A = this chain, B = another copy of it.
Amino acid sequence: MLSNRQLLVLQVIIDEFIETAQPIGSRAISKKQSVSFSPATIRNDMADLEEMGFIEKTHSSSGRVPSEKGYRFYVDHLLLPVHLSDRDQRTISNLFDQDLVEFEQVVQKSAHVLSDLTNYTSIILGPEVYETTLKQLQIIHLSETTALAILVTNTGHVEHRSFTVPEKIKATDLEKLVNILNERLIGVPIVHLHKQLQKELTSVLDRYVDNVETAFDYLKSALLDQHPNNIYYGGVTNIMLQPEFNDVEKVHSLYSLMEKNDLIANVLRTTGEGIHISIGQENKIDEMQDCSLITATYSLAGQQLGTIALLGPKRMEYSRVISLINVLSNQMTRTFNDW
């Protein structure tokens, strides 16, 4: 069990390291306002803390830096809830005072605010089309052999894909199909589209369309296949402002990771509801082992829509960032539910 003084020492070390990115020595700790012990006393506590794995030395006679276990303890037990600064609060309320009408817009602007305020990189996932319902389906013929399928959801999200129309499908068949689909499918959650189609409509369609199967397959693949991961990054250059990324190798590895959208999407999609923090090795992705990732979900009518996340060095301003991301994701959820 940690003594009160040890808790204090650990707190000071981490706070200080988060600010300066430099190892902290016993003398520096002893000089802090909140600490009234001599360096020698502090050194004893530091030795204990190191033995327990909360802090580390960079070399045998250096000051201490937090270990990942230290950060985890800090996040779990030492984090004092902070009130946001005036500037932070103003920036956020400015954002939500504009009347934004598109989901994507809200989410993207939130991400930008988040990365601007923190100097870390924001990542957002969603809003997931899967969670929304069909508003309208449309086919537009661009030429004899190509057509454009447009799908609009109730959240104002637009998906479109163009495809080659094979010769055996008549243009009129496609149109009929779309009309019928629109009659029957508006309001159906996108995620159920496929099942719904198969179950209820095949027989009905037979009457109207000559070549149901093929037309249907084409439409399906045009609309539902290769669903793009709805991933968006904000403030990607911020990473380079952090001293731990003063090495092109590291930046390169992280940026390459950001090109693998499906990997990141997977991680963000599988975080539970609310705020989650993973520190260093806790991250499943190799390239993130030197980073911390803070995620928060936003939702509509209790239904989880997507995730907003912040990627930075392990030496993150946890307390401030958590407050920010908390306020933002709540505001997002509120805004969506107001519509």
- The chain A residues found within 8 Å of chain B, CB to CB, are 99, 101-102, 135-136, 138, 140, 142-143, 146, 148, 150, 152, 154-156, 158, 160-164, 236-237, 240-241, 245-248, 251-252, 255-256, 259, 339
Find the residue from A138, A162, A163, A246 having the highest chain B CB count within 10 A: A162
Asked if residues B142 and A156 are in contact (CB atoms below 8 Å), the reply is yes
Contact partners of A146 in chain B: CB under 8 A = 101, 156, 339
Q: How far is the CB of A230 from chain B (nearest CB, A)?
A: 15
Q: How far is the CB of A290 from chain B (nearest CB, A)?
A: 15
Asked if residues B143 and A135 are in contact (CB atoms below 8 Å), the reply is no
- Give the complex CA separation of A102 and B160 in angstroms: 10
Contact partners of A136 in chain B: CB under 8 A = 140
Of the candidates B102, B148, B154, B248, the one whose C-beta lies within 8 Å of that of A156 is B148
9 further A-B pairs in the complex, CB-CB below 8 A; given A148-B152, A237-B259: A142-B154, A142-B156, A146-B156, A148-B158, A150-B158, A156-B162, A236-B259, A237-B256, A251-B251
Q: How far is the CB of A214 from chain B (nearest CB, A)?
A: 17
Q: How far is the CB of A314 from chain B (nearest CB, A)?
A: 18
Contact partners of A142 in chain B: CB under 8 A = 101, 135, 154-156
